[in-house]
């Protein structure tokens, strides 16, 4: 951008401070950190950025800033001041929340009326609504309640040119106009800045029980898992925890106590000679624990549900052969997180092998030593030119997280 | 070029050379240009809007769809894709000087995968055929618009169709995993994947519900759902729809998520009884609650539901004792629209959404607005998700009454928006509610939607002049309801 060349960051400082205020505008070594108070200030910042060719990374708590291709923006736009639960219409089972609100803070308020947004993302205490939506994160609850695309009913977004746009609404059923919020969900901050999100809510799971079973090879779970998925049991969590030596399955069901007793009997039958025992809720921390390990590569792998056990079993064989360590937590809807501890060459080779047989393999936690050696997205689709065109229409100056997303969008 | 300027170009007739190109694209047996045959395609379920297309093409493959769309793109000929034509908002209305792409011949179920719970279909496959195909394995396809015995999956994708059970199971978009789409430039692209979370923008999510304005879908991967162990349906009679509405709020507040919650008022009950003899109790507000799930759970929750009905003064409570009885209950509910013909010469169907809690207030306001202009409004609604279907009854033979009825139905939509709701829950914006979309969304919101439109269809040839408000034309009015030919023939019930 020619403008950026002539505009030094020091020159831009007073102009940004005039939009937000001095107290919330800081110039670090190579970037601004700006914390706007409302969508109008974000609009002014983005307009300024578009005019001057200053790149912007929207951020909440920053827990997932390392996901995707690295970006070195001129402006880090912190949403942490915009953190209010704006509306909780508990009788309508909907809420509207600002993007900078932490997930746990939002859920705590919703829980006062026995409700929740039925999603269990990573780092709930710190991670913000906006960041979770932008990265389309979600955990075990997804098997019962669907992902963010099924839970979001409306959104407010600020575009690169400063336009403040609303999409959807506050009602669960609504087919008026395009669902811009579906485009924004999982777009990694490349199309606009999410400032507010409306969710549909579900009742809290009051009575729930968790059962587990353990084997050495994930393949041994293939038959019982298939029977379970084909039964009338409706799990609200169903995961496999795997490393090179062993594999555990966890099953959570929320239902009436009488129903849960009945399910316990059924599960014992499904798993035949593999003993099933009741276990502690803490097993559902497994996915979080993967991400909390230091110095690992973390993948998000998507396969068809019927391929989970064979994929994990193969991974066990590969890791032994290649001398790599791994731990994986697989949701039985086919979304698998794998933490790899291996030399960069080994990690790269393993990822490439996985890409040959899985529907998609994305590198989430992407250590610097892999940068430039492998594409974190591994994405090749006939739809890529259209995605680029959408990016061009929404952000013609490429100021929003340029290069971070698929195909260097 | 603005959309408006380009739509002026459309009003020209197709040349013989262009017709020849279309024939080459689809074969002689796939092209209709005779006027009498074209008339079949001049409208959809909203029959008061009619435009005769220049040509109708009936492709059998995605490659033929591509070839057709390329011809259209080359000559900037507007096209609209069409399934069974059961839509209620004029979404499949042809453009003047344009081509209709009927997907009726692309009606094959291509793959059934029970372990991974998906089915791959062509767009012309009929909704209920998907369920029929997987029923023996204990599965079903959840979205159930009541035209489901004739409407097609391609049309459902365009409209993001719902149905009575979407309170629990969601809409077409909830069940769409992947789509093949012919873009308005003729490129064939794939959105999504049968496996979850394909990287990139969620273009399948954007495409579903775009009412044919972003391209033509040629292949759809649908999620199927395990059939619940038990389904139970309860009918409760109340003195007013408000009391029925309060019961709905109480059921939700108790933490239950029924698969359906429907309310009908006296007029609607009368009409349904006259048409179908569903043996409904005559009352001010009839509540229908359907619970499904594990048998033990359903039994316990049904007891709770019963208690809540009693608490709110239900004068009669019945639980359908057999599958046959349950079907009869639903038949009455689904016939409610068409049945209006029994109690009124003419009527207009609307499709507003309000936050559930606004229900009593909005019902009172509708009653007041109707009384003020001496008209009757029957109410049938998916109460669980606040989706109202007010039916404005009138008599066209009385001078001025049609205009009054149109105006009333239009003001009811505005009322829904004013209460924080939407102008459409499942029928779509189409031709009918273009101007109302401008009442619901502000200029920047609409301009942002146009960015998507322009990325997909820069020449605005895919179902042009639909959904979005037109700049220089007078405000739209919703049209009076006239039964679709399929409906009068008893093939489909539409609501």
Residue B3 has pLDDT above 80, yes or no: no
Residue B8 has pLDDT above 50, yes or no: no
A398 φ, ψ (degrees, to nearest 5): 50, 55
* CB of B89 closer than 8 Å to CB of B432: yes
pLDDT score recorded for residue A209: 97
* CB of B351 closer than 8 Å to CB of B425: yes
Task: Please tell me the distance from the alpha carbon of residue B421 to that of residue A176, in angstroms, as a whole number.
Answer: 10
Task: Please enumerate in sequence order all residues whose Cβ is within 8 A of that of B80, keeping only pairs 6 or more positions apart, or say none.
Answer: B53, B92, B93, B94, B95, B98, B99, B100, B101, B212, B462, B463
* Assigned token pair, A7: 């505009």
* Assigned token pair, A195: 């400032």
β-bridge mates for residue B216, sequence order: B182
Measured between beta carbons, the chain B residues lying within 8 angstroms of A187 are 201
Best mutation target among A160, A176, A226, A387 (most B Cβ atoms within 10 Å) is: A176
Alpha-carbon gap: A178 to the closest alpha carbon of chain B (Å): 6
Which stretch of DSSP H or E encloses residue B447?
A: helix B443-456
As a whole number, mean pLDDT of residues B409-438 equals 95
Alpha-carbon gap: B188 to the closest alpha carbon of chain A (Å): 8
| Of residues B104, B122, B108, B109, the one with CA closest to residue B58 | B104
Task: Please tell me the distance from the alpha carbon of residue B401 to that of residue B394, in angstroms, as a whole number.
Answer: 6
CB contact under 8 A, B445 and A166: yes
CB contact under 8 A, B189 and A386: yes
Instruction: Give the least confident one: A51-60, A193-202, B12-21, B25-34.
Output: B12-21
* Closest Cα in chain A to B170: A150
- Distance between alpha carbon A131 and the CA centroid of its chain, in Å? 8
CB contact under 8 A, A378 and B199: yes
* Closest Cα in chain B to A394: B451
Nearest CB among A169, A204, A234 relative to B293 is that of: A234
pLDDT score recorded for residue B335: 81
CB contact under 8 A, A180 and B426: no
For residue B490, the 8-state DSSP code is T
CB contact under 8 A, B448 and A182: no
Task: Please enumerate in sequence order all residues whose Cβ is within 8 A of that of B222, keeping only pairs 6 or more positions apart, or say none.
Answer: B118, B119, B120, B121, B130, B141, B153, B175, B176, B177
* CB of B214 closer than 8 Å to CB of B191: no
Mean pLDDT (chain A, rounded): 95
pLDDT score recorded for residue A6: 60
Task: Please tell me the distance from the alpha carbon of residue B233 to that of residue B319, in angstroms, as a whole number.
Answer: 6
DSSP code string of B134-151? HGGGTEE---B-TTTTT-
pLDDT top residue among A12 and B212: B212
| Of residues B374, B468, B424, the one with CA closest to residue B171 | B424
Q: How many CB pairs under 8 A join A and B?
A: 250
| Of residues A94, A27, A404, the one with CA closest to residue B357 | A94
- Percentage of chain B lying above the pLDDT 90 cut: 81
Kindly list the distances between the CA atom of residue A266 and the CA atoms of A144, A227, A251, A258, A260, in Å, as whole numbers in the listed order.
19, 10, 12, 13, 10
Segment B298-321, tens digit of pLDDT: 999 999 999 999 999 999 999 999
Measured between beta carbons, the chain A residues lying within 8 angstroms of B173 are 149, 179, 182
Alpha-carbon gap: A163 to the closest alpha carbon of chain B (Å): 6
Instruction: Give the CA-trace dihedral at B169, B170, B172, B178, to 10 degrees.
Output: -80
Alpha-carbon gap: B213 to the closest alpha carbon of chain A (Å): 10
CB contact under 8 A, A146 and B174: yes
| Of residues B454, B425, B426, B420, the one with CA closest to residue B440 | B420
DSSP code string of B357-420? GGHHHHHHHHHHHHHHTT-EEEEEEEGGGTEEEEEEEE-TTSTTHHHHHHHHHHHHHHHHHHTT
Measured between beta carbons, the chain B residues lying within 8 angstroms of A89 are 355, 357
Place of tokens 């609501």: B495
CB contact under 8 A, A186 and B202: yes
Please give chain A's pLDDT, 409 residues, in tens.
444 446 788 889 999 999 999 999 999 888 999 999 999 999 999 999 999 999 999 999 999 999 999 999 999 999 999 999 999 999 899 999 999 999 999 999 999 999 999 999 999 999 999 999 999 999 999 999 999 999 999 999 999 999 999 999 999 999 999 999 999 999 999 999 999 999 999 999 999 999 999 999 999 999 999 999 999 999 999 999 999 999 999 999 999 999 999 999 999 999 999 999 999 999 999 999 999 999 899 999 999 999 999 999 999 999 999 989 999 999 999 999 999 999 999 999 999 999 999 999 999 999 999 999 999 999 999 999 999 999 999 999 999 999 999 999 9
Task: Please tell me the distance from the alpha carbon of residue A285 to that of residue B235, in angstroms, as a whole number.
Answer: 43
Q: How many CB atoms lie within 10 A of CB A379?
A: 19
Mean pLDDT (chain B, rounded): 91
As a whole number, mean pLDDT of residues B105-126 equals 98
CB contact under 8 A, B189 and A180: no
| Of residues A12, A224, A199, the one with CA closest to residue A117 | A199
Which ipTM did the prediction report? 0.96
A64-91 in b/e form (b: 16+ CB < 10 A) is bbebbbebebbbbbbbbebbebeebbbe
CB contact under 8 A, A177 and B441: yes
* Closest Cα in chain A to B159: A175
Task: Please tell me the distance from the alpha carbon of residue B220 to that of residue B207, in angstroms, as a whole number.
Answer: 12
Alpha-carbon gap: A383 to the closest alpha carbon of chain B (Å): 5
β-bridge mates for residue B382, sequence order: B262, B387
CB contact under 8 A, A379 and B138: no
For residue B152, the 8-state DSSP code is B
Task: Please enumerate in sequence order all residues whose Cβ is within 8 A of that of A100, keeping only pairs 6 or more positions apart, or say none.
Answer: A60, A78, A79, A80, A81, A82, A83, A128, A129, A130
* CB of A408 closer than 8 Å to CB of A58: no
For residue B327, the 8-state DSSP code is H
B461 φ, ψ (degrees, to nearest 5): -105, -15
Kindly list the distances between the CA atom of residue B24 and the CA atoms of B20, B64, B82, in Å, as whole numbers in the listed order.
6, 9, 21
Count H helices and E strands in chain B, helices first: 18, 19
Measured between beta carbons, the chain A residues lying within 8 angstroms of B190 are 381-383
* CB of B97 closer than 8 Å to CB of B217: no
* CB of B320 closer than 8 Å to CB of B262: no
- B334 — pLDDT class (breaks 50, 70, 90): confident
- B357 — pLDDT class (breaks 50, 70, 90): confident
Using a 10 angstrom Cβ sphere, with 0-12 exposed, 13-18 middle and 19 or more buried, the burial of residue B11 is exposed
CB contact under 8 A, B425 and A171: yes
CB contact under 8 A, A230 and B226: yes
* Assigned token pair, A98: 């600002």
Residue B253 has pLDDT above 90, yes or no: no
Measured between beta carbons, the chain A residues lying within 8 angstroms of B117 are 305
pLDDT score recorded for residue B194: 97
β-bridge mates for residue A88, sequence order: A95
| Of residues A300, A334, A281, A301, the one with CA closest to residue A143 | A334
As a whole number, mean pLDDT of residues B210-217 equals 98
Relative orientation angle of helices B295-311 and B241-253, to the nearest 10 degrees: 140
Measured between beta carbons, the chain B residues lying within 8 angstroms of A386 are 183, 187, 189, 203, 455-456
Q: How many CB atoms lie within 10 A of CB B368?
A: 9
Task: Please enumerate in sequence order all residues whose Cβ is within 8 A of that of B69, keeping only pairs 6 or more positions apart, or say none.
Answer: B79, B101, B182, B183, B184, B185, B186, B215, B216
Task: Please tell me the distance from the alpha carbon of residue A234 to that of residue A252, in angstroms, as a whole number.
Answer: 9
Best mutation target among B145, B202, B449, B469 (most A Cβ atoms within 10 Å) is: B202
Phi-psi region of B14 (alpha: psi -120 to 50; beta: other; left: phi over 0): beta
Task: Please enumerate in sequence order all residues whose Cβ is within 8 A of that of B323, keeping only pairs 6 or more positions apart, or say none.
Answer: none
Best mutation target among A174, A355, A360, A388 (most B Cβ atoms within 10 Å) is: A174
Nearest CB among A163, A170, A175 relative to B209 is that of: A175
Q: How many CB atoms lie within 10 A of CB A334?
A: 24
For residue A267, the 8-state DSSP code is H
Q: Model-level pTM?
A: 0.94
CB contact under 8 A, A179 and B206: yes
Nearest CB among A259, A306, A385 relative to B115 is that of: A306
Q: Pick from B105-119, B269-283, B382-396 the range whose average pLDDT is largest.
A: B105-119
pLDDT score recorded for residue B332: 87
CB contact under 8 A, A170 and B252: no
For residue B91, the 8-state DSSP code is T
pLDDT score recorded for residue B149: 92
β-bridge mates for residue A89, sequence order: A94
- B248 — pLDDT class (breaks 50, 70, 90): very high
Alpha-carbon gap: B115 to the closest alpha carbon of chain A (Å): 6
For residue B319, the 8-state DSSP code is E
Alpha-carbon gap: A225 to the closest alpha carbon of chain B (Å): 10
Instruction: Give the CA-trace dihedral at B79, B83, B84, B88, to 10 degrees.
Output: -70
For residue A128, the 8-state DSSP code is B
Alpha-carbon gap: B81 to the closest alpha carbon of chain A (Å): 18
Residue B473 has pLDDT above 90, yes or no: no
Nearest CB among A174, A381, A383 relative to B353 is that of: A174
Task: Please enumerate in sequence order all residues whose Cβ is within 8 A of that of A213, keeping only pairs 6 or more positions apart, or say none.
Answer: A221, A248, A249, A271, A274, A275, A276, A277
* Closest Cα in chain B to A378: B199
For residue B14, the 8-state DSSP code is P
* Cα distance from N-terminal residue to C-terminal residue, chain B: 38
Segment B60-87, tens digit of pLDDT: 999 999 999 999 999 999 999 999 999 9
pLDDT score recorded for residue B12: 60
């Amino acid at each position: 951008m020619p403008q950026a060349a002539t505009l030094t960051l020091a020159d831009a400082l007073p102009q940004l401070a005039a939009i937000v205020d001095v107290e919330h505008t800081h110039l670090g070594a190579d970037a601004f950190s700006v914390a706007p108070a409302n969508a109008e200030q974000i609009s002014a910042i983005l307009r300024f950025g578009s005019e001057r060719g200053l790149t912007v990374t929207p951020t909440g708590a920053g827990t997932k800033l390392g996901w995707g291709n690295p970006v070195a923006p001129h402006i880090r736009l912190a949403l942490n001041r915009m953190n209010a639960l704006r509306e909780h219409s508990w009788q309508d089972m909907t809420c509207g929340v600002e993007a900078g609100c932490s997930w746990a803070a939002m859920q705590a308020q919703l829980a006062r009326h026995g409700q929740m947004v039925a999603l269990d993302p990573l780092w709930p205490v710190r991670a913000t609504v906006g960041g979770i939506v932008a990265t389309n994160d979600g955990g075990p609850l997804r098997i019962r309640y669907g992902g963010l695309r099924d839970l979001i009913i409306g959104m407010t977004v600020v575009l690169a040119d400063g336009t403040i746009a609303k999409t959807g609404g506050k009602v669960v059923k609504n087919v008026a106009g395009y669902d811009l919020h579906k485009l924004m969900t999982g777009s990694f901050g490349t199309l606009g800045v999410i400032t507010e999100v409306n969710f549909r809510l579900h009742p809290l799971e009051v009575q729930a029980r968790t059962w587990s079973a353990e084997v050495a090879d994930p393949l041994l779970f293939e038959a019982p898992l298939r029977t379970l998925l084909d039964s009338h049991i409706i799990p609200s969590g169903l995961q496999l925890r795997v490393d090179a030596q062993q594999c555990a399955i966890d099953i959570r069901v929320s239902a009436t106590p009488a129903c849960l007793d009945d399910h316990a009997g059924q599960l014992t039958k499904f798993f035949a000679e593999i003993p099933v025992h009741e276990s502690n809720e803490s097993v559902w921390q497994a996915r979080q624990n993967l991400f909390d390990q230091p110095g690992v590569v973390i993948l998000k792998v998507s396969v068809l549900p019927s391929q989970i056990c064979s994929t994990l079993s193969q991974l066990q064989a590969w890791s032994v052969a290649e001398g790599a360590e791994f731990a994986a937590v697989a949701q039985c809807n086919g979304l698998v997180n794998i933490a790899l501890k291996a030399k960069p060459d080994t990690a790269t080779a393993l990822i490439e092998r996985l890409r040959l047989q899985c529907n998609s393999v994305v590198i989430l936690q992407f250590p610097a030593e892999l940068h430039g050696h492998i594409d974190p997205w591994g994405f090749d689709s006939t739809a890529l030119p259209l995605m680029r065109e959408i990016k061009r229409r929404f952000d013609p100056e490429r100021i929003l997280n340029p290069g971070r997303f698929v195909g260097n969008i | 070029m603005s959309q408006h300027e380009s739509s002026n170009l459309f009003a020209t007739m197709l040349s013989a050379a262009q017709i020849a190109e279309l024939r080459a694209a689809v074969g002689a047996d796939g092209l209709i240009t005779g006027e009498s045959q074209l008339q079949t395609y001049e409208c959809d379920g909203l029959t008061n809007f009619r435009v005769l297309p220049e040509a109708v093409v009936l492709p059998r493959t995605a490659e033929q769809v591509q070839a057709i769309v390329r011809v259209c793109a080359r000559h900037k000929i507007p096209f609209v894709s069409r399934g069974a034509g059961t839509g209620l908002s004029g979404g499949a209305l042809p453009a003047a000087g344009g081509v209709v792409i009927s997907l009726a011949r692309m009606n094959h179920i291509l793959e059934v995968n029970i372990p991974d719970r998906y089915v791959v279909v062509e767009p012309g496959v009929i909704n209920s055929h998907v369920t029929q195909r997987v029923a023996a394995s204990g599965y079903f396809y959840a979205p159930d618009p009541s035209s489901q015995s004739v409407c097609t999956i391609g049309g459902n994708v365009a409209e993001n169709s719902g149905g009575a059970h979407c309170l629990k199971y969601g809409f077409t978009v909830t069940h769409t995993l992947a789509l093949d789409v012919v873009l308005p430039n003729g490129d064939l692209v794939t959105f999504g994947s049968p496996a979850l979370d394909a990287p990139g923008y969620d273009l399948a999510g954007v495409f579903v519900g775009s009412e044919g304005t972003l391209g033509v879908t040629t292949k759809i991967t649908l999620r199927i759902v395990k059939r619940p162990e038990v389904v139970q349906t309860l009918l409760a009679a109340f003195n007013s729809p408000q009391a029925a509405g309060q019961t709905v709020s109480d059921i939700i507040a108790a933490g239950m998520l029924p698969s359906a919650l429907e309310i009908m008022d006296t007029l609607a009950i009368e009409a349904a009884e006259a048409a179908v003899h569903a043996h409904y109790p005559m009352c001010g507000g009839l509540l229908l609650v359907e619970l499904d799930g594990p048998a033990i759970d359903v039994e316990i929750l049904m007891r709770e539901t019963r208690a809540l009905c009693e608490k709110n003064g239900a004068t009669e409570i019945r639980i359908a004792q057999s599958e046959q009885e349950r079907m009869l209950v639903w038949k009455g509910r689904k016939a409610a629209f068409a049945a209006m013909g029994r109690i009124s010469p003419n009527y207009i169907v609307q499709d507003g959404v309000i936050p559930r809690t606004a229900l009593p207030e909005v019902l009172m306001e509708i009653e007041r607005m109707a009384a003020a202009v001496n008209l009757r409004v029957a109410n049938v609604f998916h109460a669980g998700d606040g989706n109202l279907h007010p039916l404005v009854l009138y008599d066209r033979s009385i001078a001025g009454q049609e205009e009054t009825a149109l105006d009333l139905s239009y003001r009811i939509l505005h009322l829904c928006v004013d209460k924080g709701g939407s102008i459409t829950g499942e029928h779509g914006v189409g031709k009918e509610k273009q101007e109302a979309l401008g009442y619901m969304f502000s200029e920047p919101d609409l301009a942002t939607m146009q960015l998507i439109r322009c990325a997909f269809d820069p020449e605005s040839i895919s179902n042009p002049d639909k959904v979005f408000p037109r700049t220089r034309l007078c405000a739209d009015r919703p049209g009076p309801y006239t039964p679709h030919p399929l409906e009068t023939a008893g093939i489909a019930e539409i609501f």
